[in-house]
Amino acid sequence: MLTVATAVLAIITASPLVWMLSASVKEPGEIFSSSLIPQHPTLDNYRYVFTQLPFLRFILNTFFVAGTITVVALLLHSMAGFAFARLRFPGRETIFLAIFSTFLVSLQVIIVPLFILVQRMGMVNTYAGLIIPVTFNAFGIFLLRQFYLGIPIDLHEAAILDGASYWGIYWNIMLPLSRPILSALAVFFFLVNWNAFLWPLTITTNQDLWVVQVAIASFQGQYSAAWNYIMAASVVVALPTLFLFFLFQRQLVESIKTSGIK
Amino acid sequence: MDNPTRSSLRNSGYSAEKLEQFRRAGPTRTHKGGKLFWTRSRKEALAAWLFILPDTLGLLIFVAIPMVLALSLGFFEVNGFGGYRFVGLANYNRMFRDPLFLESLWVTIVYVACLVPGLYVTGLGLALLVRQRIPLIGVWRSLFFMPYVVSLVVIALIWKVLLIDKVGFVNRVLQMVGLSGEAWLGDPRFALGAVLFITIWFLMGYYMVIFLSGLQEIPREYYEAAKIDGANAWTMFTRITLPLLRPTSFFVLLVSTVSAVSGSQAFDIIYVMTNGGPANSTSLAVFYIYEQAFKFNNYGYAAAMASFLVVVLLVLTMVMFAATRGGRFHLT
């Protein structure tokens, strides 16, 4: 009984995504039929998306932007997290407190001044503008610091006695040890940045720099009735994230459990 | 994340060979200065500052300065070409007399007041449901969580088609069971409800995961003891589960409130689905601010309104910080 209820609820929850998949292979006239199974399945919608629109370019842009942010953010956050967890220096508590206080400031709230600032720096319509301003967040530093605090300190001290440099300890000991949390965060960061919409929308007007989310949101305006094309494009945009989810479900869930904050 | 155990330490990273390597390399002298000045603690401090420099600088420039700017920009009139003119409190006066802003504040309050309890109930409910030992539980959990990994733009596009008047899938299904469909997104009475429904559908799997990890921390013996004493399921829920779940609950309520106020999910959904309409019924404060800035180029005015939200969020952050004793909080 409970099993049936759970199963039914779960399937209903996932059904809009199934509907998207089904609509993406339907013919234009069929999109509003109530059947989930297309009468004449076709890949024309996908063909249209890739041939009539520079969709491949948008995909590559997004891969580049999300990938760069993920790699750079993980490097910088793990460096900072290591220092806050393991090194003693004046101002440590104060600086960490200051960083923590930016924890809950979300982009939506500071977007106007941030845009003005970034505009002044000449980064509107550049890859740098898409990447740099959204690379820094307190969340990653905080999480990695927590993780490094859990690594036995005698390891650190032994390495110091052996004459290892701080960079050596970070690079040769801490980083390899934090591989599990780094891979979990990498999946999470990539996902968040692949899905990001507000910042790319604000900072790019040049179509050559569009990421996929901005692209599909604007198709909608241009091809407002062509839902079959829009659904095909949506599937293409959603696929990498669903793929990552099925591959790295455990890591993703773990990183949410530890942190709980997006 | 599990802390590495001794055995995993021995296997990875700091191996015997590595130790030997360090030993052979001997003490490193990275700084050539006189021994007296470069004491160990000074070296350590310098290294630490270099480690945190890039991230701290980045956060300062791209988060802290915009925050301060948000608070001060409101006193200026900013035109599209970067010209500034000090206007004192004019923007703030205008703000509290702007019916559209006040309306957007009201929409925000309704949105937050419905979303936070909605997420709490659905998140906890799902967590309790998928905690049961039933067949294929991993599959059901994944299905509940799945919407969360898809981008909000895609989510909004899907639901926009599903909710289309008369011919949309949702109305078709309603008609099949004998109900009349509605113009969900075209009617001011329903549009905000639709946005709320979609936000909850999107986020509930995420909160389910958080509640699940909270539930796992409650020792099973408590329930077994209660069962022996003849407690029913409801008593166990109110007397054991809820009280012991308090830290998780607190965390969930705070995070969901903050993200609801700042429209973390709502912005994308509204931008794609309703554009704030119909009749401004889905125009949240963050959306109205965005329109003022990027549609009408009223940057100063938008900043004034945003600073209002910044203050609200700062207060919330401070509450959170105090309640969790300096950020050293754990979910449990």
Reported as a single tens digit per residue, the pLDDT across B171-183 is 888 888 878 777 8
Residues of B with Cβ-Cβ distance to A253 under 8 angstroms: 145, 209
**How high does pLDDT run on average in chain B?**
83
The H or E element spanning position B125 is: helix B99-131
User: How would residue B332 be classed by pLDDT, with cut points 50, 70 and 90?
Assistant: very low
Residue B274: φ, ψ to 5°: -125, -15
Q: Return the pLDDT at B208.
A: 95
Spatial separation of the C-alpha atoms in residues A239 and A184, rounded to whole Å: 19
Distance (Å) from the alpha carbon of B10 to chain A's nearest alpha carbon: 10
User: How would residue B14 be classed by pLDDT, with cut points 50, 70 and 90?
Assistant: low
Question: Given a cut of 50, is residue B148 above it in pLDDT?
Answer: yes
**Domain presence at residue B2:** no
Question: Given a cut of 70, is residue B20 above it in pLDDT?
Answer: no
Is A104 in contact with B313 (CB distance < 8 Å)?
yes
Spatial separation of the C-alpha atoms in residues B97 and B301, rounded to whole Å: 12
The answer to whether the Cβ–Cβ distance between B263 and A180 falls below 8 Å is: no
A82 → chain B, closest CA residue: B51
Tell which A residues from 159 to 188 touch B, by Cβ distance under 8 Å: 159, 162-168, 170, 172-174, 176-177, 179-181, 184
Q: Encode chain A (262 residues) as per-residue pLDDT tens digits.
A: 788 889 999 999 999 999 999 989 988 877 777 777 888 888 888 998 898 888 999 999 999 999 999 999 999 999 999 999 999 999 898 999 888 877 777 888 889 999 999 998 999 999 999 999 999 988 889 889 988 988 888 888 888 888 888 999 999 999 999 998 898 889 989 999 999 999 999 999 999 999 999 999 988 877 766 888 999 999 999 999 999 999 988 888 877 777 644 3
In a shared domain, residues B250 and B139 = yes
DSSP string, B175-220: HHTTPPP--TTT-TTTHHHHHHHHHHHHHHHHHHHHHHHHHHTS-H
Spatial separation of the C-alpha atoms in residues B299 and B69, rounded to whole Å: 11
CATH number at residue B209: 1.10.3720.10
CATH topology of domain A41-259: MetI-like fold (1.10.3720)
**Domain presence at residue B107:** yes
Question: Given a cut of 90, is residue B250 above it in pLDDT?
Answer: no
Burial class from Cβ neighbours inside 10 Å (0-12, 13-18, 19+) for residue A143 reads buried
User: How would residue B143 be classed by pLDDT, with cut points 50, 70 and 90?
Assistant: very high
Query: How many structural domains compose chain B?
Result: 2
* Percent above pLDDT 90 for chain B: 41
Of the candidates B66, B108, B100, B103, which has an alpha carbon nearest to the alpha carbon of residue B259? B108
Residue B86: φ, ψ to 5°: -70, 125
Q: Does A158 touch chain B (CB under 8 A)?
A: yes
Return the SS3 of B290: helix
The pTM of this model reads 0.86
In a shared domain, residues B62 and B196 = no
B201 → chain A, closest CA residue: A13
ipTM of the complex: 0.91
In a shared domain, residues B65 and B201 = no
In a shared domain, residues B69 and B168 = no
Of the candidates A119, A252, A110, which has an alpha carbon nearest to the alpha carbon of residue A195? A252
Of the candidates B191, B156, B105, which has an alpha carbon nearest to the alpha carbon of residue A197? B156
Cβ-nearest to A254 among B1, B299, B321: B1
Spatial separation of the C-alpha atoms in residues A261 and A102, rounded to whole Å: 13
Q: Tokens 């290294």: give the residue.
A: B47
Q: Does A68 touch chain B (CB under 8 A)?
A: no
Is A197 in contact with A217 (CB distance < 8 Å)?
yes
- Rounded to an integer, the average pLDDT of B122-132 is 93
In a shared domain, residues B37 and B179 = no
Other C-beta atoms lying within 10 Å of the C-beta of residue A88: 10
Q: Return the pLDDT at A168.
A: 92
Is B91 in contact with B176 (CB distance < 8 Å)?
no
**Domain presence at residue B24:** no
In a shared domain, residues B138 and B284 = yes
Of A43-52, B32-41, B195-204, B266-275, give the lowest mean pLDDT range.
B32-41
**Chosen from A75, A77, A112 to mutate, greatest number of chain B CBs within 10 A:** A112
The answer to whether the Cβ–Cβ distance between A109 and B30 falls below 8 Å is: no
The answer to whether the Cβ–Cβ distance between A194 and B151 falls below 8 Å is: yes
Q: Return the pLDDT at B5.
A: 42
- Domain span including residue B42: 29-73
**Domain presence at residue B15:** no
Q: Return the pLDDT at B17.
A: 59
In a shared domain, residues B220 and B120 = yes
**Domain presence at residue B81:** no
B280-324 pLDDT, tens digit each: 899 999 999 999 999 998 888 998 998 888 788 778 767 766 766
**Domain presence at residue B174:** yes
Q: Return the pLDDT at B124.
A: 96
In a shared domain, residues B66 and B149 = no
Residues of B with Cβ-Cβ distance to A245 under 8 angstroms: 142, 145-146, 149
In a shared domain, residues B168 and B60 = no
**Domain presence at residue B8:** no
Q: Return the pLDDT at B132.
A: 83
The answer to whether the Cβ–Cβ distance between B310 and A135 falls below 8 Å is: no
Q: Domain ranges in chain A?
A: 41-259
Beta bridge partners of residue B76, listed in sequence order: B86
In a shared domain, residues B219 and B125 = yes
- Cβ-proximal residues to A192 (8 Å cutoff; 6+ apart), any chain: A262
Distance (Å) from the alpha carbon of B176 to chain A's nearest alpha carbon: 10
Q: Return the pLDDT at A33.
A: 74
- Rounded to an integer, the average pLDDT of B143-151 is 95
In a shared domain, residues B42 and B180 = no
DSSP string, A224-241: TT-HHHHHHHHHHHHHHH
- Rounded to an integer, the average pLDDT of B37-66 is 90
In a shared domain, residues B257 and B288 = yes
Tell which A residues from 185 to 244 touch B, by Cβ distance under 8 Å: 191, 194-195, 197-198, 201-202, 213, 216-217, 220, 227, 230-231, 234, 237-238, 241-242, 244
Question: Given a cut of 50, is residue B10 above it in pLDDT?
Answer: no
**Domain presence at residue B328:** no
Of the candidates A45, A18, A33, which has an alpha carbon nearest to the alpha carbon of residue A233? A45
